[in-house]
A and B are shown apart, each in its own frame.
Chain A
Amino acid sequence: MAWLSERRKRTRFEAVILPHLDAAYALARWLSRNDADAADVAQEACLRAFRYFDTYRGGDAKSWLLRIVRRTCYSWLERNRPAEIVSLESWPEIRQELEASGDTETKLQNRSDLRRLDSLIEALPAPLREVIVMRELLELDYRTIAEVANLPIGTVMSRLHRARSALRQAWDDKDIDQ
């Protein structure tokens, strides 16, 4: 009976996928940079995941869900805030801005103010922000990040490196002597 199998599907989905809701929300939150939007995205992603659940063939449920969250989030941003979709081609200018916002004087001033580091992460373009968030905050390994972001591992590594260099430049670069 369809009703029964739908019910079974839901029970299984809740047991296998929903335990990763926190990670899903965190990724959506870092990508959308806003609580309400993150909730919308996470909800929409879970619903999509539920619809595609028949295509889930075991394996790492977390990366399976995050992949959907990420896609949902980008299409959500395209629909609602297209201006925020920044490709890495305009990266040089962004990097300059980022560095300007972190000149040495403010660096020293803000060294104790760790909240500034969050805003620097938020200022990264999404392709760099997502890898640093997945690596440092969701603590995913390269292979999983590559899977979630649908990128070759080499690209994950180079983006991670660029993200870190940018953060260090803007934040603590000249500050090694402390």
Chain B
Amino acid sequence: MKCDEARPLLDAYLDDELPAAGRAALHDHIEGCVECGPEAGALERLRNDIRRSAPVYRAPGFLRSQIRSTLRREARGASAMARAPSWLAYAASILLAVAVGSGGTWLMTGERQESSIGDELIDNHLRSLLADHLTDVASSDKHTVKPWFAGRTDVAPPGVDLAAQGFPLVGGRLDLIQGKPVPALVYRAGKHVINLFVLPAQPNALGETASRRGYTLRHWSKGDLGYWAVSDASPDEFSKFERAFRAAAGG
């Protein structure tokens, strides 16, 4: 074997990708050649240096659990959308509402339909906090969060980051409201979490602010989108948030 035959094969030799016969021939050549021998040695040294120096990246623990819960949610959402018993999701939310409600005041009787949306939103807000499932897509980047919803929901939520105004975007989540997948944008206000649900605007929707079970619900609409923000942040924080969001979303 000559050097100009051997050279192009050195990488494959190092990578152990040569067939046995070629490997043996190259081995003999390298052993005896004053040019190719050091060349092969240098390649091998580079490999060792890379493997010795490069950080070993492993998936962080939070990512693992985040992915698991995303999958759980996705599996649940897919089966609900496949017209499989969405009563399961409902049953779960009612059970949870009862569990939460039994400790507090229970005010559901005879209220208008919008108020039950309000309750459902608050339940979803609570569930997002309790079940350690704040987001399906965790990102402070609106360019990641907004496209994530594409094709998953009927409405496209605007991508708005309010970090500069003190409400950093945490991510997005898909919730079931009245049996339909609804996007929730998740923001932080200090230690509090604000869930902003985006639904098709409804005529006669609930008035601007409602408070129940210690949570505040604010509603506004813009064009054909209805926004429902739920949180236990202070009313001041809350109206600041609404103003910031409306300004940033152009309305």
Give CA–CA (A53, B75) in the complex, Å.
Answer: 12
**Residues of chain B with a CB closer than 8 A to A118's CB:** 53-55
Q: How many residues of A contact B (CB 8 A)?
A: 52
State the main secondary structure of chain A at its contact with B: helix
Decide: A164 near B63, CB < 8 A? Known: A2-B84, A30-B57, A47-B70. Answer: no
Which of B43, B54, B57 interacts with A38 by CB under 8 Å?
B57
Shortest Cβ gap from A139 to chain B (Å): 9
Q: Whole-angstrom distance from the CB of A123 to the nearest CB of chain B?
A: 14
Q: Mark A144-178, 1 if CB is under 8 A from B, else 0.
A: 00000000000001001100100110011000100
Cβ 8 A contact of A43, one of B12, B84, B138: B138
Q: Which of B113-121, B142-150, B221-229, B243-251 contacts A (4 or more CB under 8 A)?
A: B142-150
Contact of B51 (CB < 8 Å), options: A38, A115, A137: A137
B78 CB within 8 Å of chain A: yes
Given A3-B85, A79-B143, A115-B53, do A172 and B42 touch, yes or no (CB 8 Å)?
yes
Closest 7 CB pairs of A and B: A114-B53, A2-B84, A25-B59, A2-B82, A3-B79, A6-B75, A26-B57
15 contacts between A and B (CB under 8 A): A2-B78, A3-B88, A30-B57, A40-B139, A46-B71, A47-B71, A50-B74, A114-B53, A118-B54, A121-B54, A135-B15, A141-B17, A161-B11, A168-B42, A176-B38
Task: Identify the A interface with B (CB < 8 A).
Answer: 1-3, 5-7, 9-10, 13-14, 18, 21-22, 24-26, 29-30, 35, 38-40, 42-44, 46-47, 50-51, 76, 79-80, 114-115, 117-118, 121, 132, 135-137, 141-142, 157, 160-161, 164, 167-168, 171-172, 176
